[in-house]
Chains A and B, each alone.
Chain A
Amino acid sequence: GQQVMQIPQYQHVQEGEDFTTYCNSSTTLSNIQWYKQRPGGHPVFLIQLVKSGEVKKQKRLTFQFGEAKKNSSLHITATQTTDVGTYFCAGDSGGSNYKLTFGKGTLLTVNP
């Protein structure tokens, strides 16, 4: 079945440093979504990428979708303590069941 691999598993940075998490799917995706889960909370939708090579920005967050629609990345510029949490990518392979396959997530901690 479809697999979504995400690295790194953990990342600890000093406040102000940049952060990047990477996602790779074993199959071509219809779209990829990114979620953030704060400690003790539930996943919150950040963004959806649909087009090959797509790049989207949300303030300090930059999301990319690879040309082959099999990989993606999330980059945070100048991290802040509010960025702490686990970032998950989730791949949608298309089809009528709308099923997402989640990566294992990257836990980001930020040292003030």
Chain B
Amino acid sequence: GAVVSQHPSRVICKSGTSVKIECRSLDFQATTMFWYRQFPKQSLMLMATSNEGSKATYEQGVEKDKFLINHASLTLSTLTVTSAHPEDSSFYICSASDYRLNYGYTFGSGTRLTVV
């Protein structure tokens, strides 16, 4: 089945620094990946759609200059949280789909970001 690897699983950073989160599709190619944010006990909020070789598509209200997305290859998308602030602390999850299979979307294991 489809496997999506997300790294790191946890990160603590200081306010004002930047953090990069990687999302890799291990056994399939993903022209499209999705980045979500999830607050405690809440649903997944789609932040942006990452498109290989082109600019990401951001959802309304998501600052593209703050959440930089790069999808440089068919197996890797990165989300960089720039100039992080405590309110950016959250659970960030990526997902991708192998459309050759009827497996829906495979999610990465998520990254717990804490900004202190």
CB-contacts of A75-112 with B (<8 A): 88, 90, 97-105, 107
- B105 in contact with A42 (CB, 8 Å): no
The residue of chain B having its C-beta at the shortest distance from the C-beta of A43 within the complex is B107
- A99 in contact with B105 (CB, 8 Å): no
Instruction: Give Cα A35–Cα B32 distance, bound, in whole angstroms.
Output: 19
Q: Which of A41, A97, A100, A104 contacts B105 (CB 8 A)?
A: A100
Instruction: Give Cα A23–Cα B34 distance, bound, in whole angstroms.
Output: 22
Chain B residues, CB < 8 A from A35: 104, 107
Q: Which of B41, B46, B106, B109 contacts A107 (CB 8 A)?
A: B41
Count of chain B residues near A, Cβ 8 A:
21
- B97 in contact with A98 (CB, 8 Å): yes
Count of chain A residues near B, Cβ 8 A:
21
Given contacts A99-B34, A103-B43, A107-B41, contact A44 B105 (CB under 8 A): no
Q: Which of B34, B43, B103 contacts A88 (CB 8 A)?
A: B43
- A42 in contact with B32 (CB, 8 Å): no
The residue of chain B having its C-beta at the shortest distance from the C-beta of A45 within the complex is B104
A33 is an interface residue with CB less than 8 A from chain B: yes
Instruction: Give Cα A100–Cα B45 distance, bound, in whole angstroms.
Output: 10
B54 is an interface residue with CB less than 8 A from chain A: no
Given contacts A48-B102, A103-B43, A107-B41, contact A97 B57 (CB under 8 A): yes
- B46 in contact with A48 (CB, 8 Å): no
CB of A7, distance to nearest CB on chain B (Å): 13
Instruction: Give Cα A33–Cα B106 distance, bound, in whole angstroms.
Output: 12
Rank and list the top 9 A-B pairs by shortest CB-CB distance, nearest first. A45-B104, A104-B43, A42-B110, A42-B107, A33-B104, A102-B44, A43-B107, A48-B104, A102-B43
- B contact set with A: CB distance below 8 Å: 32, 34, 41-44, 46, 49, 57, 93, 95, 97, 102-110
Q: What 17 new A-B contacts, CB under 8 Å, besides A44-B107, A99-B34, A107-B41?
A: A33-B104, A35-B107, A41-B109, A42-B109, A42-B110, A43-B95, A43-B107, A45-B104, A45-B105, A48-B102, A88-B43, A97-B32, A98-B97, A102-B44, A104-B42, A105-B42, A105-B43
